Amino acid sequence: MIQYVVDAFAERVFEGNPAAVCLPERWPLEEEMQSIARENNLSETAFAVREGEDWRLRWFTPGGEIDLCGHATLAAAYAILRFADPEAEMIRFHTMSGLLTVRREGELLSMDFPAYSLTRTEVTDAMEDALGIRPREAWLARDLVCVFDDPAAVEKIQPDLEKVRALEGTLLHVTAPGTGPGYDCVSRSFAPKLGVPEDPVCGSGHCHLAPYWSGRLGKTKLTARQASQRGGTLYCRVNGDRVVLAGRAVLYAVSRLTVGEAEASPAV
């Protein structure tokens, strides 16, 4: 099985969020896909299998399968458009979150995702204890979003990941208004419940963050910066209950997995 490692939402290698992408002819066993994800030890490993003119896509973290992942979708589309279907202008993925489409937009790949509907929730002492600083606001959908006024607080935050596990939400996103020219918001994402201490750039997180900042700033087009150590930029468009996330991707590695193959006989 060929595996591609792609840096998503990246201008160059070693930026953005690396995802592994496997394009097998048929589905491996579920336990095998989970073991591959655990062995890769990246925040996501994506598996895509062609179904007619479309593809079915699944995402695995080291801790289990997840229902939506932006950066691994971008990485999978990049691998397919470069290696499996280079003439295509659009990829249609059937997923646990419904039909997702990815289109070429010049140098960018744009993904049409569902937007999460956020509900405001109480800021608690447990949040402050886990983060080391008290959020201004807190919102909940699949993930927990904690909002701050100072972008520097987001950049410097060092959460207690064991205490983050006790908070509501699958992932935790911390966010603040943007810094410098061109950025509407900054954020960081933590997923200890999924075996990922910090997700370098979280696409599905921006299905929470883009609707929030769109409503707060009164604009439907946003440029978002993930302020992790690797860093990454997302170009977001909010359209009702959908979010379009666009970004660049860069190939880091191509490898052959020996899973399922007979061991080679030793040389005599």
Q: Which residues are catalytic?
A: 44
Strand partners, 111: 102, 245
Nearest to 153 by CA among 187, 184, 127: 187
Asked if 135 and 145 count as a contact pair (C-beta separation under 8 A), the reply is no
DSSP state, residue 15: S
The upper half-sphere exposure of residue 227, i.e. CA atoms within 13 Å in the direction of its Cβ, equals: 23
Under 8 Å between Cβ of 199 and 174: no
CA torsion sign for 21, 3, 103, 218 is positive
CB-CB contact of 132 with 160 (8 Å):
yes
